[in-house]
Amino acid sequence: MSIMAKHSQIIWAQPTDIDVAARNKAVATLHTLLSQLSTRGAISAAGAIVDTFCGKPLPETLAGKVQTAISDESPAFVLEGNELQGTVCLAVAALAVVRQDAVGNAVWSSADALAAALWSGLTFQNQVQNTKVEELRQELLGACRDRVAAVAKEARARHDVPDVGTLTIPESDAAGTRANNAYRRATAPVIAALKNNQELDREEIDFLWWVISDYSDVLGCPLEAKDPATRAVAAGLEGSKMLRRLPGDGFRHAVLRCIGETDSLSLPALLAAVGEDRARLAEAADPLLPSTLPTVFPLLSALFSDAHAADQSAALDARGWGARALLEASIIAMENRFGGDA
């Protein structure tokens, strides 16, 4: 099935084969563009995509690339006045990246960053009134959630440690480096597997000791000494610091083990509930990405500024806020550890 066939009716009441074929090519171009972004760029692109579902304009640079991708196939196209087409094509391209780009050995790829950031932003967004656009939004949200779950599982698979390879010394190597190069090539797979397994072992040990201690360094007291809302957010923030991969379901359940059922709170109500502990929670979070991308990091950005919380109407119980703190902080932790602009 053509990737745009299902969603082309958002743009045209009766799309033609030529229409769909042209937009398929534009989506393929945007797919390549998104796949080649740095992880930091992918997170920023995710924020822009989430914003477009709310009717906000694309950033100038990204808007230019979207217009070029479409106008290269349809020369009469202009993005101004046709922003919905840009939203649909870009969202479908993101959907293709999340679904089609392989979940490989990379701990933190641009596709993983895009999926995690989109999942974070889209789950905190109100439904879109346009039914067909909402279907696309929900499809994208589900695909991102599924990829994050798959990445969290695959990235924690222990590697088999192979035997040391055969030492081969090419005649073309300089005499002084032949033995060293040959040794590196022969042992590199062994060392890589051992390092991966050691890192996962370290993650489990650090995380389990943190769970057993049941103490919050952020709050300076046992977690149980605080009300559920404060406890949940603190646990999410601290749990993310113990992880070296995106959190899976098991890690989320462990982080929220001490949080029971509570009434739902809006974001402003949550900030009021944490009260004086808000400053401590803010100190535990890295402000760089939340301050520039509040759409992707609504909870963390609100800890730093009331301006980011004023228009938020979504309500979650304490477990929901704890899970959100864990997801948002884990994206930042992964980006700080493995990502960047390069």
Co-location of 57 and 126 in the same domain: yes
| Domain end position, chosen among 130, 154, 178 | 154
Number of folded domains that form the chain: 2
Within this chain, do residues 132 and 225 fall inside the same structural domain, yes or no?
no
Q: In the predicted model, what is the mean pLDDT of residues 158-164?
A: 72
In a shared domain, residues 135 and 236: no
From the number of C-beta atoms within 10 Å of its C-beta (0-12, 13-18, 19+), residue 261 rates as exposed
Domain assignment of residue 231, yes or no: yes
Instruction: Share the mean pLDDT of the chain.
Output: 90
How far is Cα 60 from Cα 86, in angstroms, rounded to an integer? Answer: 13
Let me know whether 251 and 140 are in one domain: no
CA angle, 66 as apex, 61 and 71 as ends, to 5°?
Answer: 125
Please report whether residue 33 resides in a domain. Answer: yes
Q: Is residue 168 situated within a structural domain?
A: no
13 and 143 inside one domain = yes
> How many Cβ atoms from other residues are within 10 Å of residue 330's Cβ?
25
Q: Is 130 inside any structural domain? A: yes
Query: Residue 25 falls within a domain, yes or no?
Result: yes
Q: Six-digit token pair at 77?
A: 């196209």
Q: What is the pTM of this model?
A: 0.91
Please tell me the predicted confidence (pLDDT) of residue 175.
56
Range of weakest confidence among 154-158, 165-169, 233-237: 165-169
Structural domain for 135, as ranges: 8-154
**Which residues neighbour 304 within 8 Å (Cβ) at sequence distance 6 or greater?**
282, 285, 287, 290, 291
Residue 10 identity (one-letter amino acid): I
pLDDT tens string 17-71: 998 999 999 999 999 999 999 999 999 999 999 999 999 999 999 999 999 999 9
Residue 195 lies in a domain: no
Examine residue 189 and state whether it is found in any structural domain, yes or no.
no
pLDDT tens digits, one per residue of 277-313: 999 999 999 999 999 999 999 999 999 988 777 666 7
Q: Is residue 60 part of a domain?
A: yes
Residue that wins the pLDDT comparison between 277 and 261: 277
